[in-house]
């Protein structure tokens, strides 16, 4: 059985991109730690099963993580995809799902882990920004990278315009990464992820662009 669990906390646009991708998954379950997450409504519209585990009703991180793990295990997922899940997970939780816990982050990791990635990118004056899908390790927003997308930072960019263009790319690369995993196209070699069917090579993005 190929079951997929998606964890969300809010808007759920990456979750929607995953639901639209039409994976070969027998069952998709969306779990939110936030009862008011707008993504829950979207998930129901797509026919996914939804579960809410409100972290505020638990005395500490460990008991929340234990309850979350119970719900996840009941789904017997091949993969757990964090899609805007804004809770730090305990080491024990991360270890339990090592190698099948994926995350999407709005920067080219290891640059800009944490929050406010687009504002920090603008502040640093970098010319190329983007997003990363990676396997989760005990270190926040860190771990073996599956796929990244890069976009140029334009002189007129604001935090909002940059966030919007990065988000477009998130919606492209996350379904791709999850598909590779669900179809066993990913192999781990030490701390690296090898994509078996990768056909894209030798592409470069220059920002500013080079003259012809």
Task: Point out the residues that are catalytic.
Answer: 105
| Segment 55 to 114, residues that bind ligand GAR, using CB under 6 A | 83-84, 104-106
Q: Which residue has the tokens 């989760």?
A: 136
Is 149 in a helix, a strand, or coil? strand
Token pair for 81: 């995809």
Q: Any contact of residue 141 with ligand GAR (CB under 6 A)?
A: yes
d(C-alpha 84, C-alpha 86), whole Å: 6
d(C-alpha 68, C-alpha 7), whole Å: 10
| Nearest position to ligand GAR, beta carbon | 84
In sequence order, what DSSP letters do the residues of 53-68 get, joined into one string?
Answer: --GGGSSSHHHHHHHH
Site residue total, ligand GAR (CB under 6 A) = 15
Pairing of the two strands 192-195 and 145-152 = unpaired
Q: Which is nearer to ligand GAR, 165 or 211 (CB)?
A: 165
Beta-carbon contacts of 96 under 8 Å, excluding residues fewer than 6 positions away, are 69
Q: Any contact of residue 119 with ligand GAR (CB under 6 A)?
A: no
Give least dist CB 201 to ligand GAR, A.
26
List the x/- string, 143-162, binding to ligand GAR by CB under 6 A: --------------------
Scanning 6-14, 62-70, 148-156, 188-196 for contacts with ligand GAR by CB under 6 A, the matching segment is: 6-14
Binding residues (CB under 6 A) for ligand GAR: these are: 8, 10-14, 39, 83-84, 104-106, 141, 167, 170
């Amino acid at each position: 059985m190929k079951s997929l669990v998606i964890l969300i906390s809010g808007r759920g646009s990456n979750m929607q991109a995953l639901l639209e991708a039409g994976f070969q998954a027998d069952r998709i379950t969306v779990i939110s730690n936030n009862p008011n997450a707008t993504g829950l409504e979207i998930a129901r519209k797509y026919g996914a099963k939804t579960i809410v585990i409100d972290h505020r009703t638990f005395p500490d991180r460990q008991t929340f993580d234990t309850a979350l793990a119970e719900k996840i295990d009941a789904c017997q997922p091949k993969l757990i995809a964090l899609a805007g899940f804004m809770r730090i997970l305990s080491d024990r939780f991360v270890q339990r799902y090592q190698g099948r816990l994926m995350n999407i982050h709005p920067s080219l990791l290891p640059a800009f882990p944490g929050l406010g990635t687009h504002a920090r990118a603008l502040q640093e004056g970098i010319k190329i920004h983007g997003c990363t899908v990676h396997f989760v390790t005990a270190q926040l927003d860190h771990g073996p990278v599956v796929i990244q997308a890069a976009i140029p930072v334009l002189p007129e960019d604001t935090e909002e315009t940059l966030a919007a263009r990065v988000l477009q790319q998130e919606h492209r690369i996350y379904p791709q990464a999850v598909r590779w995993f669900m179809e066993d196209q990913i192999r781990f070699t030490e701390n690296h992820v090898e994509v078996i069917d990768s056909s894209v090579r030798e592409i470069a993005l220059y920002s500013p662009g080079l003259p012809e």
